[in-house]
Every structure is written in structure tokens, then in C-alpha cells.
Chain A
Amino acid sequence: MSSVTLTKLRYRYFPDHLVGEALSKRWIDNVPAVIWLLVVLAIFGSLIPNFFLVSNLIDSTRQLGETGLVVLAMTVTILSGGIDLSVGSIFGLANITMLVLLNIFAWPLYAAIPATLLVTGCIGLINGILVGYLRLRAFLTTLVTLIIVRAVVDMLLLNYAQPVSAANFDSPVWDFMGDGDIFELPFSLVLYGVVAIALHVVLSRTRPGWRILAVGGSRRSAHNVGLPVRRTICGTYVLSGLLCGLAGILYAARSNSAGSEVGLGLEVVAIAAAVLGGNSLGGGRGSIAKAIIGTVTIMLVTNGVVRVGLHSGGGSMVLGAVLFLAVFTDIRWLKHRHKLLSRVYVSPTFFELGALPDTTKGSISPYAINNRLGDVELIGLGTIEHPEDVIFDSNDNLYCGDRRGDLVRFDAPDYRRQQVFAHIGGMPAGLACDKDDNIFICVAGMGLYKVSPDRAVTKVTDETNRSFWSIIDDSRLRIADDLDIAPDGRIFFSEATVRYDAHDWPVDALESRGNGRIICYDPKTRKTHTVLRNLVFANGVVTAHDGQSILFCESWGCRISRYWISGPNTGKLERVLENLPGYPDNINRASDGSYWIAMLGMRSPALDLALRMPGFRKRMARRLPHDQWLYPNINRGCVIKITEKGEVIDVLWDESGENHPMITSMREHKGSLFLSGITNNRIGRYRLRDANPAWTSHDSYWGVTA
């Protein structure tokens, strides 16, 4: 097997783009914490015999629920930018309150539990009012609460310790809460799991949860945006109080004893667990998952050192060392993750193009350089920037996009008067016009939009169906590029690439993976779904003259393909023209039954060779700054004309590159060809010699209007 074949197979089947995609997700921040958890498991698993015996494990988890709830309480307050040092004292208060209510005052369980929670919730509310509304410092305030509540606990113990230890509250529910199992897991653990999942859903998928993270990230900015900062912060302390109360109740159920050291030092363990998992002490960054990982690690370490037989000081030493290492790695990970991501994200693959067609001036090649576009009239020179596409409505007015997010209109017939027709935002790209003169626009960074003749902007669609196996969320549209409307009203549009955004789209050429797709929006059902996948930078789309198929361009694929959308061949894909000498962008109808194609760049031999050596490109992307990378030559382009069968019948160049060095779109209208380019600041009008002077695209699509 030749090395080329081996390379091809290796790059087809080994998905190295997944590494970069995984690194770009938010959940990758959990990785260092999980690694530490595994390290701890491995160390203690090897040191302690029968560590992994299920019964031993379950014994270790009996305490996990209570500590875990306290860690959740601490995490919630840390995430909002504060801290709750009183969690241990509230825990102790809940314990003694519960025991007192049950044993001394003989309250039933269904009254004692809510009462205890009410008490701890009120303590949390006091914390919340002081920190949230009165804007006192969280650290000092909760320290004071810690001392005061501990004093209250001691006072209660003074009066009730004796009677509580003498009394005996009997209740099967109470016993179940303390020692019972659900599916062989302790009740406290199951309750902890349920609460943790609920809290995770709240924090990551509901508005109150997002507000907590926003306030923690930047209190000032959250206030400026209009979020209810004080209410949110107060809410986190109330929640913290409730969670600690629940933990204290579970402890009371399990141990049935009241002592002055219940919950002593629990706040330190809670902080350690929260930070170990990777939650930021400053607030705004973290998750419940991180808290859980931290809790499990801490419990493993504390139990493990006891089982190994270390002296009492040794256990804390080990815990301290683990905490230090975990925090150190987390900080380094935070600092360097984006650097690592930028280096490994670009995942080039093997891509082989045919021999480069000749473009030498004066040769017999159909692509030979000429200076046909040397003589163009200019429209909007210097007043528009980055027009990617041009289109005409039924009244001959010219529309084009502008990089400032505008749809600009030039009024017929001389195209001197220019106005911002509508402001959409994003980066407007491909344009299409339906029979009622609604302009449909693909806006890169936003989606598919529609501008009606009365300048109203509506969103048509900005998402499609998510593919199951993709790590990247490809339900979002990153670079909607070009579109066209089928005779039955369906809109077919291309998404150039799912891995890159509009500001660094040429990097997709270095990958030359099939990252693009064609998507269909059906206005009758209002549904969007992906029609074709794995296209190498899907770009221009045009409905064929007979309306039965669409022709589309793959830029880095240097080819034009046809996809049937109706008739007997529906769903079939065929290649129309391959091995172009450049990168095709938009494709549009010509007046004589053929098609115009714009080339946004020309192939160069050095890059073509590099496309067959993905390792070279990968090392280049890793070791050189972005500015220095070998790029597709998008400083040069041309226009070609092809027949329905894919035969090249004409080519237009601007030899000097003065007006139209690179061209992303052209539209034929009443005998002239209007040109635009995405790095240009003008529209060119080239008078075609033998074209039908009455032909317009609007008539070609929707019939001659009366």
C-alpha cells in the first residue's frame, strides 16, 4: 500500500478534529478535576485492599450525601460571587433544632422538617439581606453569622443536650432517612443526587440560574444590563441555608446525637471541595458537576487516609497537598486552555485535487487570463464595503450587502442614489428575490432573513436539525452563505462550514474537510432540515433553469455539483464540473441558459501540494501564528460561464486587479453583468456584448410580471 493511500485512509478514519471540538466545549473544564479524581482513586485503590468492594464503597458514601449538600450550598454562594462561611453552623443548628423538635416537643416529622428548613432558611435570608441588599462584605458577614449561630447552637445544647440524649424518637420514616437504602444506595445519597441534578438544571438551563452566574461573573455589568442583582444574591444565601438545613436533617436522622462539634470546620471542607472541583472562588465560573467531583474527591481522600492508617495530622496534610495540586493545575488550565485550543483546533485532512489547469494568458486553455473586465463602470465606489452578493428586484433596483450589517439599495436606472434599505446586523452574504420582491438574505453569523419591500426585517430561520454524533452544536448556523428559491417555494441555502466563524473562514481551506452543508427551509411547514452534509465549503447555490435541481459550488473542493430536488431523480447528487483552477463562490443564472460562476480565489501549486500533506499543515497551524499561515490565494479571482452540462464557455478576468481582483458574485441583468467582491468596496458593471438586453433574473425565476 503506498504511503499516499495510507495517508488517505488514516485521515479518513481517524477523527482528529474531535480533540479540538471537545476543547471548545464548556464541559471540558471539568477534565482536570476528573483526572485528579481518577488519580486519587488509583492511589487509594492500590494502597487499600478491598477498596473497590461494593459494600465498602457504599459505606463510604453514607456520609457523602450530607457533605455533598453542604458543598452545593457553598458552591451556589461562591458562584454568585460571594461566600457562605456559616454553612457549618447552620448545619449544626439544623441538627439540634430537628432533634429538639422531635424529642422534646414531640412534633410529628411532617411538621418538624419544614420548621427546621424554615429556621435555616431564615438564617440564610438574614445573610442574604445583609450581603445582597445592604451590600456588606460576604466574608465578614457570614463569619459573624457563623459565630452567632454557633453560639445559638451552644446555648440550645446547654439547655437541651441532656433531654435529647435521653429521649428516643421512634419512627420508621426517620430510621429510613438515616439508614435506609433505595436500590442499595443510601437514602441520603439518592436525595443528594436528586437535589444536585435539579440544581444543575436550574443553574445551566433556567433564567434564575443564569442570573446567578452572571452576577458572579461581574456584579457591575449584571447591574448595568438590568438584572435583579440584589434579589439574586439574597436568593443564593436563602438557598444555601435551605440546603444546609436539609443536610443537617439527614445528619440528625443518621446519628441522632447532638454535640458541640457537629458541623465544626465543615465550611473549610466545603470550600476545599468546591475549589477542588474547579469552581472559581471569584465567582461566575463553575458548575454543579464540578462541585460533585470535588466532593467525591474530598470524601475519598478523607476516608482513604483513615483506612490507610495515617495519623490525624497526616490526613489533613494529604488533603492540603491534593487541594494545592488541584488548584494549581486548574489555574494553569484556565490560563492556557485557549492557547491549546487555538493550536489543536485546526485539524487538516488529506485532500487531493487534480492537476492545476493552465491559466496562462494567450494559451488555449478555457481559463486563460484576459482583460475583459478591465473596462467596467463602477457603482458605489468607496461607499460600500464587503458586498458579497448583488440582486435586482422587479423594478431594476440593485441591492447588495454591506459588512456593517446593512442591505444597501441603489436606485435604478443609473444607480447613483444609494440608501441603507434595511439594517439586519451580522455579515450579509447571499441574496435572492422572490416573486413579491421580498429579498431573502443569508446573514453570516445570524441565519436566513427576509426583508420585505416595506423594509421590515424578519428572521426566516436560524437553526436546523442537530446531528446526533457531532460534538459541535451544528443546529446553529455559523456562516449561512448563499441561497436560492425553488419553484415550489422551498429555500435551499448553504452553510459554508460548521467549524469556523465568519471572521476566520479562510482557515477552513487549510482543513479542507467536508465541513459544509446544504440546508432546506420549507415555508409551508416552517421546518428546516439539513439536506446534504460533508461538503468542502458549500458556497453558491442556484436553482437550475428547469427548476428540477439545484447547482451548488464547493469552494475548496473546486467543483460544481447538481442535486435534484424534484422529478424522478429527486435526492440524487452528481458532479457537474470538477478540478476548477480556482475556488468557486456564487453561481447564478445567465440569459442564454448557462450559468455564471464567480471565483473568490485561485489555486496555487504550493497550497495544492500542502493539501496532500496534512501533517505539514497541522504542524504549521501549531507552530506559526495565524498571520503567517499558508493561505488560499483570495487576492485574485475571475468569472467563468458554464453550460448546463458543465462545459466552460467563457472566462472574464480583470488582469491588472485594479477594480475586481477577487470576485464573489455576479448577476446578469438586462445585458450587463454586475460584479461584487467580499474584500472590495465597489460594484462593477460590465456590459455584455451578445446578451439579451431584456433578460432579468426576476423574470427568469417568476415569469414576466404584467
Chain B
Amino acid sequence: MMPWLRSKVDNFIGSGDAALAVPPMDGALKPNRALDTCKTGFAIQAPDDLCVWNGILLVSSGKGLFSIQRADAGVQAVLHRTYENEITAIAADAAALAVAFADGDILIEGGRHDGRRISLAEAGKVRNPTAVTFLGAEHLAVCVGSARYAHIDWQRDLLERGSSGSVWRIDLQTEASVCLADGLAYPYGIMPLGDGHSILVSESWKHRLLRLDATRPSSPEAVLNDLPGYPARLHGDGVGGAWLALFAPRNQLVEFVMREPEYRDLMMSSLAPAYWIAPSLRSRGSFLEPLQGGGVRQMGMLKPWAPTRSYGLVIGLDRNLQPRRSLHSRADGSRHGTTSCLASEDQLIIASKGGNEILFCDLRGQS
């Protein structure tokens, strides 16, 4: 009775769950043009995930896995291997590389379990892994975004406010899998924490980071709430902190549409996904995409603070997992849809899936 009454009151006033407000970007998250002004980078079609394997930087793009090499001519991507299915996540340990595919399979290359293929597939459920990480040499932790939709339909899952995602622990020797947490709202990034027995998971649709026990099922604990966007992959920075990439911004109009079931359902059933009122990875689309009032161009210029459905944001977290610094690509930039971000040798490597670029940002200049 009380929850029903509360939801009615909330809907009327616009508070609680019915609140459409989005946290402002302030403090450590104050917007800048760091990603837009970053000069070094190279073009690659839809780069998704990053990892470092045996000193080589690898990036997944579609069905191909590329290694980034510095040559005299500059930086270039060399095709390492092409697979039959779309790669949705990659991770590396000292010797081994894990490649996760859209059909729920995870392939291990190198190390003791070279060639092993683990399947997460389960009848009747979608098991599309969105992020994967090694927990020591013998175990893997995998995020599955949603049990209803594959990753390609992430906008649908977001608009329906889905929370059917799960986190799994897989024993590489026995191929047994344990579900560490279920009912999550699109876990999209995973990383082991320094204490050895917990992992950090980014719960995208609830725009927060969760800490889970890495060994057995437990209820998650939120460690960083109210992010201004939807978090994606996490990578440790080697000194106890982490780098978090956010692939899309939170938008008040999208939050409104999420709470208008009639319009939302009609929109999803009658319009092409590119034209939905939903976050997007790409910055410039056709004029058939929805426009918001603040996005009107005057004299050909778009205000950097205009309401936008896409954004590029990378946040550096300290040991306490609080934001310390951030790099942005604002509304008028093009390096949006940053899905993954890796720190290596004083440089930050960022995959901008919407901008079709890999960026190298110098960390020394950042405060």
C-alpha cells in the first residue's frame, strides 16, 4: 500500500523515481575539451574494448582484433585475427587473452588454457557478455548485460529500464560457472579490486559502480552513485585507482520518455532505432533524429552545453573510487561513445566507438 501511494505521489510531484533531474557535471567532472583537443589518435571503425596482452595493445572492432603498433610512420593498427562472430569484450592476464563473443562464447588464447572455449549460453536467455576480466590465472569474471536483449539492442533495454543482467565467475579448469549477482541493470564493466576478493562492476542503467564479492554470490554494494552518464568499461591504473569510461550521457528527455510507457512502446515499435529518443554513440546523425530545444544551431554553432544524446567522458578514480579528473568531448565534439579507456606508461588510451577513433592522451598534463 505504502509503495503504491508513494509512487502515485512521486508521479504527481515529480520526486523520487519519477524525478527527471540529471546530476550536473561539476567538481572533478567539470566539462573540458580534453578529448576533442587530443591530437594523437588514429581512425578505426567502431573500436570497442581495449586490453594489453604481453605488452601489446589490442583493440576489438567488429569481428576483428587489432594490435596497435608504433612504427616510424606513426601509429597503426595491424589486424591480429578475425573471428566468425562479433567480439563484445576482451581481457588479458599475464599470459592469456580472453575474447568474448556476441553468441555467449568466450575463447582463451595463450597461457595454460590456450584454445579453451567456454559457453555461457543458456536456453531461453540471452547471454551476451559485455565485459570480462581475469581473476588470477584460473578464473574469469564475466558481465552479461541483459537476459532479454543482445548488446545490439541496448537502447531497447535502457528504455524499458531492464534489470536482467548478471555477473558470473568461471573456473577455467572445470568450466563451471557461478552466478555472483543477478538482476543488475546492465553491468557493462568489470575489474578486480586490490584487496583480492572483491570486484568492481559498473551498473550502466543505474549509473553507478557496485562492489561484489569475487568468490561467492552476494548482494552488491554501491560505491559510486549518481554518475552523469552510463558507465562502461573499467580498467585499473596500477596504483589502486581506476579509469572509467562512460559511453553515453544521461538526458532529461530520455529519462522522461522512459517513464512514458505508451509513447515509448509506440516509438520502439514504429520507428527505426536510429530515430529513437534514446542515447546514441554517434554525435552527428541525420536530420531525422530527434532534436531538443537547446540543440538548435545559431550562426552554424552548436553550444557545447546543449542537450545531447551522445557524449564522450572518461573519469579517473582514486583509491577510494571517487572521481579525481575527467576528460570530456562535449556536445559540439565528435569523439563520443567512449566505451573503454586504458592507462599505460603515462598515456591514456581511449576507444571512441561513436567517433571511430582511438585516442592517446598525455596524462602528465592533467592535474
Residues of A at the B interface (CB closer than 8 Å) are: 356, 385, 506, 602, 604-607, 609-610, 613, 616, 619-620, 623-636, 658, 661, 679-681
Contact between chains at B307 and A679 (CB < 8 Å): no
A634–B296 contact, CB under 8 A?
yes
Contacting pair B287 A602 (CB below 8 A) = yes
- B271-298 near A? 1/0 per residue, CB < 8 Å: 1100111000000000111111111111
What are 10 A-B contacts with C-beta separation under 8 Å? A604-B287, A605-B271, A606-B271, A609-B266, A624-B252, A625-B252, A629-B253, A632-B291, A661-B300, A680-B299
Closest to B22 in A: A628
Find chain A residues with CB under 8 A from B298 CB: 679
Q: Per a CB cutoff under 8 Å, which of A606, A623, A636 touches B290?
A: A606
Kindly report which residue of chain A lies nearest to residue B267, judged by CB atoms: A609
Q: Which residue of the partner chain B has the closest CB to A602?
A: B287
Report which residue of A356, A604, A632 has the largest number of chain B beta carbons within 10 angstroms of its beta carbon.
Answer: A604
The residues of A that contact B173 with a CB separation of less than 8 Å are: none
Query: Chain A: which residue is nearest B18 at the CB level?
Result: A623
B260 → A minimal CB distance (Å): 6
A635-B297 contact, Cβ under 8 Å, with A627-B307, A628-B253, A630-B292: yes
Cβ of A384 to closest chain B Cβ, rounded Å: 11
User: Which residues of chain A come closer than 8 Å to B20, judged between CB atoms?
Assistant: 623-624
Contact A630 B290 (CB under 8 A): yes
**In the docked arrangement, what's the CA distance between A471 and B253, Å?**
32
How far, in angstroms, from A56 to B296 measured CA to CA in the complex? 65
- Contact in complex: B307, A623 (CB < 8 Å): no
Q: Is the CB of A616 within 8 A of B260?
A: yes
B320 within 8 A of A: no
A623's partner among B256, B291, B297, B300 (CB-CB below 8 A) is: B256
B225-264 CB contacts (< 8 Å) to partner A: 251-253, 256, 260, 262-263
A609-B271, A623-B14, A623-B256 given as contacts; is B293 within 8 A of A629 (CB)?
A: yes
Q: How far is the CA of A506 from the CA of B293 in the complex (A)?
A: 9
| Chain A nearest Cβ from B159, distance in angstroms | 12
User: Which A residues are in CB contact (< 8 Å) with B271?
Assistant: 605-606, 609
Q: What residues of chain B lie closer than 8 Å to A658, measured between beta carbons? A: 300
Smallest CB gap from A636: residue in B? B287
- In the complex, the number of residue pairs spanning A and B with C-beta atoms less than 8 Å apart equals 99
**In the complex the two chains form, what is the Cα distance from A609 to B272 in whole Å?**
12
Contacts of B299 in A (CB 8 A): 385, 679-681
| A627 in complex: contacting residue of B266, B276, B293, B300, CB < 8 Å | B293
Contact partner of B256 among A385, A604, A624, A679, CB < 8 A? Answer: A624
Please determine whether B287 and A633 come into contact, CB atoms closer than 8 angstroms.
yes
In the complex, which residue of chain B has the Cβ closest to the Cβ of A628?
Answer: B252
Minimum distance in angstroms from A380 CB to a CB of chain B: 13
Which size bracket describes the interface of B in this complex? 20 to 34
Q: How far is the CA of A627 from the CA of B297 in the complex (A)?
A: 13
Check B270 for interface membership: any CB of A closer than 8 A.
yes
A681 to B307, CA, bound (A): 23
Q: Which of B14, B277, B288 has the most CB of A within 10 A?
A: B288
Across-interface contacts of B307 in A (CB, < 8 A): 627-628
Whole-angstrom distance between the Cβ of B258 and the nearest chain A Cβ = 13
B284 nearest CB neighbor, chain A only: A657
A647 to chain B, nearest CB (A): 24
Contact between A635 and B290 (Cβ–Cβ < 8 Å)? no
Select the residue from B289, B291, B296 with max chain A CB neighbours within 10 A.
Answer: B291
Chain A residues, Cβ within 8 Å of B290: 604, 606-607, 630, 633
Give the shortest distance, in Å, between A163 (CB) and chain B (any CB). 70
Within the complex, the shortest CB–CB distance from B271 to chain A, in Å, comes to 5
Complex-state Cα separation, A627 to B305, whole angstroms:
11
Pick from A506, A616, A623, A636: contact of B263, CB under 8 Å: A616
**Other A-B pairs, 4, CB within 8 Å; known A623-B20, A633-B291, A636-B287:** A604-B289, A606-B289, A628-B293, A630-B291
Contacts of B289 in A (CB 8 A): 604, 606
Partner of B297 from A616, A619, A679 at Cβ < 8 Å: A679
What's the least CB distance linking A503 to chain B, in Å? 12
A143 and B294 alpha carbons, distance in the complex (Å):
56
In the complex, how many angstroms separate the beta carbon of B253 from the nearest chain A beta carbon? 5
Q: Bound complex: CA of A658 vs CA of B297, how far in Å?
A: 12
Q: List the B side residues contacting A604 at CB < 8 Å.
A: 275, 287-291
Q: Are A619 and B260 in contact (CB under 8 A)?
A: yes
How distant is the Cα of A385 from the Cα of B298 in the complex, in angstroms? Answer: 10
**Residues on B with beta carbons closer than 8 Å to the beta carbon of A679:** 296-300
Residues of the B chain whose Cβ atoms lie less than 8 Å from the Cβ of A356: 288
Q: How far is the CA of A658 from the CA of B251 in the complex (A)?
A: 27
What residues of A have a CB within 8 angstroms of the CB of B291 in the complex? 604, 630-635
Please determine whether A605 and B288 come into contact, CB atoms closer than 8 angstroms. yes
Contacts of A607 in B (CB 8 A): 290
A635 contact set on B, CB distance < 8 A:
287, 291, 295-297
Q: Which residue of A lies closest to B270 (CB)?
A: A609
Q: Mark B304-336, 1 if CB is under 8 A from A, else 0.
A: 000100000000000000000000000000000
- Contact in complex: B292, A631 (CB < 8 Å): yes
Complex: A619 Cα to B256 Cα, angstroms: 9
Q: How far is the CB of B55 from chain A (nearest CB, A)?
A: 43
How close is A675's CB to chain B, nearest CB, in angstroms? 14
Q: Which of A602, A609, A681 meets B288, CB within 8 Å? A: A602
Instruction: Report how far A613 CA is from B256 CA in the complex, Å.
Output: 14
Bound form: Cα–Cα A561–B71 in Å = 65
What CA separation (Å) do A626 and B266 show in the bound complex? Answer: 24
Is the Cβ of B253 less than 8 Å from the Cβ of A624? yes
Contacts of B296 in A (CB 8 A): 506, 631, 634-635, 679
Do A628 and B294 form a contact, CB below 8 Å, given A604-B275, A605-B275, A623-B20? yes
Specify which chain A residues have a CB less than 8 angstroms from the CB of B277 in the assembled complex: 606, 630
- Kindly state the separation between the CA atoms of A629 and B267 in the bound complex, as whole angstroms: 17
Q: Which chain A residues lie closer than 8 Å to B260 at the CB level?
A: 616, 619
Beta-carbon nearest neighbor of B298 in chain A: A679
The closest CB in chain A to the CB of B263 belongs to: A616
Q: Are A630 and B297 in contact (CB under 8 A)?
A: no
Set of chain B residues within 8 Å of A634, measured between Cβ atoms: 291, 296
Assess the B267–A606 pair: CB atoms within 8 A: yes
Give B274's nearest chain A residue, CB to CB.
Answer: A605
Q: Are B275 and A627 in contact (CB under 8 A)?
A: no
A604 to B286, CA, bound (A): 10
User: Within the complex, what minimum Cβ distance (angstroms) separates A413 from chain B?
Assistant: 27
Chain B residues within an 8 Å CB radius of A681: 299-300
The residues of A that contact B270 with a CB separation of less than 8 Å are 605, 609
Q: Which residues of A contact B272 (CB under 8 A)?
A: 605
Name the A residues within 8 Å of B263 (CB-CB): 609-610, 613, 616
Q: Which residue of B lies closest to A633 (CB)?
A: B291
A374 vs chain B, min Cβ distance (A): 15
Assembled-state Cα–Cα distance A647/B164 (Å): 53
* Cβ-defined contact, A627 with B256, below 8 A: no
Find chain A residues with CB under 8 A from B253 CB. Answer: 620, 624, 628-630
Q: Looking at the complex, which one of B267, B295, B297 makes contact with A661 (CB distance below 8 Å)? A: B297
Q: Taking the nearest CB of chain B, how far is it from the CB of A399, in angstroms?
A: 21
Chain B residues whose CB sits within 8 angstroms of the CB of A630 once the complex forms: 253, 277, 290-292
A606 CA / B289 CA spacing, docked (Å) = 8
| A624 CA / B293 CA spacing, docked (Å) | 11
With a 10 A CB-CB cut-off, give which of A607, A609, A625, A626 has the most chain B CB atoms. Answer: A609
Report the separation of the CA atoms of residues A698 and B299 in the bound assembly, to the nearest whole angstrom: 30
Please, which residue of chain B has its CB at the minimum distance from the CB of A582?
Answer: B287
Given known contacts A606-B276, A624-B252, A628-B307, A680 and B300 CB-to-CB distance under 8 angstroms: yes
B267:A620 contact, CB within 8 angstroms: no
Provide the bound-state CA to CA distance between A625 and B253, in Å.
Answer: 10
Q: Residues of B contacting A624 with CB < 8 Å?
A: 20, 252-253, 256
Contacts of B276 in A (CB 8 A): 606
| Closest CB pairs A-B (n = 5) | A636-B287, A627-B294, A606-B290, A633-B291, A628-B252
Residue of A nearest to B253 (CB): A628
Interchain nearest-CB distance for B229 vs A (Å): 16
User: Min CB distance, B181 to chain A, in Å?
Assistant: 33
Given the complex of chains A and B, what is the CA–CA distance between A609 and B266 in angstroms? 8
Minimum distance in angstroms from A400 CB to a CB of chain B: 15
